[in-house]
Amino acid sequence: MKLILILGDQLSLNIPSLQLASDDDVILMCEVRSEATYVKHHKKKIAFVFSAMRHFAESLRQSGHIVRYTKYTDPENAGSLYDEVARAIADLRATEVIVTEPGEYRLLAEMQGWAERLGVQVQILEDTRFLASHQEFKDWAQGRKQIRMEYFYREMRRKYSVLVDHGGPIGGAWNYDSENRSPPKEGLQVPAPFQDRLDPVTTEVLTLVAEKFPSHFGDLEPFPYAVTQAAALEALRQFVRERLALFGTYQDAMVEGEPWMFHSHIALYLNVGLLEPLECIRAAEQAYHDGHAPLNAVEGFIRQILGWREYVRGIYWLKMPAYKEENYFGASRALPDFYWDGVTQMNCLRQCVLETKQNAYAHHIQRLMVLGNFALLAGIDPQEVNEWYLLVYADAYEWVELPNVHGMVLFADGGVLGSKPYAASGAYIKKMSNYCESCSYKVSAKNGAKACPFNYLYWDFMTRNDGKLRGNPRLGFVYKTLDRMSDEKRNAVSADAARFFTALENHEKV
């Protein structure tokens, strides 16, 4: 008898390990302390994963599979995946364990030693739910001086014939990002986000999380997320029907009190297996062909899945484990308290932190150009920033979080993933949001106690990293501007940054 281990982010009938299950094999699923607490995951994330796991297990039982399910509060719960597998082998006399590779290097490294420890054969299968295999990405990256997403994305478009005509891109361009940067306009009406109903299973899980994880970050309720494949598909359909048409135009826009905007909010469903990437891509593509959504919106959405999602996974498995330890700028400052409580005079950061706390979600520009931009400019330790992003978002797993944060947000990899740091002053935030209107600081002021900290921190960052960034061809204009600054201006930047960092280190409200 084989023991088929299904992890909490493998809730798909297409998971390779499940394909090998015969009628008398036992499927093992476990809610274990080690995975729920190795970082203190957002309460909503734990509730989402546990509820989705329980619903998936029941669907497997209904389809005739034998399922052994360990709940978090089961008295005999051994507390870790390995110990639960060992307990199941002893109880069931299993002769083989089959599992699909996990999405985190640390867990795969552990599993590769299981066979010797358990005394049975352990078969670890590659996760074929992704659209590019490890080998395919490695072959594509081989010999390239720069491993850029855009060129990988074009190959994936051709491979799957997505928005292509006779081998070329529909519309004549591969990328319509230039059309997807509009700031929010006055009176913009944003549709209500998807809201799933609470059933007894989810209600039980919410009670469990409230009792067992009280010190974890985040608000547990309201809980809107889908926890079944059927509900996740409805969330996808709702996005295509109500939000996709304006997704592209306003995908970078930020509005106070509108955390969801026109984004799809489906990454958490993709990353646990409730949705498949190709079905999301085809749904958007069909909306274009049917005339329901413009090309800039559809291409932008598809690029996030077929391009960026597959690309960052490829980078993760290509570069780990050394990738996680890189720290190009030698950043070492501690993560500020306001990343946890939102207590700051900087309204943009307050909004993004509080919305993250409430929803276990923030869209990519909030993550990159507000929360991430500050961490980059302030020189926050990459290990602390990575841990924060991993634990606060419901869609975060290390394979997707680490390249996005370590490479794109922090440039800690020195340019493996991005061609330049995504550093910006307050002017960018003012352009793309209405946050500055309610801020204690003045975004128009460049220096002084009331100046937007992003303004002088931007130039302080460029100054202190001159030796590592001046030669970057995409920053030539920036350094020409810096060279033209008067000594008085440079001294003001230095003094403002020093004053700000002293206040930060003294845990003052900044």
pLDDT at 38: 87
Residue 394 identity: A
pLDDT at 146: 87
pLDDT reading at 180 higher than 90: no
pLDDT reading at 179 higher than 90: no
Pick the CATH number of 134-191+243-319 from 1.25.40.80, 1.10.1740.10, 3.40.50.300, 2.60.120.460: 1.25.40.80
pLDDT at 145: 86
The dotted CATH code for 338-505 is 1.10.579.10
181-239: per-residue pLDDT in tens? 899 988 889 999 999 999 999 999 999 999 999 999 999 999 999 999 999 999 999 99
- Coil/strand/helix, residue 9: coil
- Which two three-digit tokens encode residue 468? 């590592």
The answer to whether 225 touches 55, Cβ cutoff 8 Å, is no
CA 480/CA 462 separation, integer angstroms: 11
The answer to whether 121 touches 97, Cβ cutoff 8 Å, is yes
Tell which residue, 1, 2, 33, 242, has the closest CA to residue 98. 2
Higher pLDDT, 152 or 185: 152
The arithmetic mean of pLDDT across residues 171-175, rounded, is 92
Domain ranges for the chain, please list them.
2-125, 134-191+243-319, 338-505
Q: DSSP readout, 392-453?
A: H-TT--HHHHHIIIIIIIT-TTSSSS-SS-----HHHHHHHBSGGGG-SSBTT--SSTTB-H
pLDDT confidence tier of residue 397, bands split at 50, 70 and 90: very high
- Coil/strand/helix, residue 128: coil
* Helix 229-242 vs helix 277-289: crossing angle, to nearest 10: 30
Give the CA diameter of the chain: 78
452-471: per-residue pLDDT in tens? 999 999 999 999 999 999 99
pLDDT reading at 162 higher than 90: yes
Contacts 24+ apart (CB under 8 A), 78-82: 78/32, 79/32, 79/33, 79/34, 80/32, 80/33, 80/34, 80/35, 81/5, 81/7, 81/30, 81/32, 81/34, 81/35, 81/107, 82/110, 82/114, 82/117
The arithmetic mean of pLDDT across residues 1-28, rounded, is 94
How is residue 161 annotated by DSSP? T
pLDDT confidence tier of residue 394, bands split at 50, 70 and 90: very high
The position carrying tokens 């958490």 is 268
Tell which residue, 261, 307, 268, has the closest CA to residue 284. 307
pLDDT confidence tier of residue 30, bands split at 50, 70 and 90: very high
The arithmetic mean of pLDDT across residues 379-387, rounded, is 97
Q: DSSP readout, 50-105?
A: HHHHHHHHHHHHHTT-EEEEE-TT-TT--SSHHHHHHHHHHHHT-SEEEEEPPSSH
478-487: per-residue pLDDT in tens? 999 999 999 9
pLDDT at 23: 85
**2-125 placed in CATH 3.30.70.260:** no
- Which two three-digit tokens encode residue 326? 């890189």
The alpha carbon of 188 is separated from its chain's Cα centroid by a whole number of angstroms, namely 26
User: What's the whole-model pTM score?
Assistant: 0.95
pLDDT above 90: percentage of residues in the chain:
95
CA 163/CA 161 separation, integer angstroms: 6
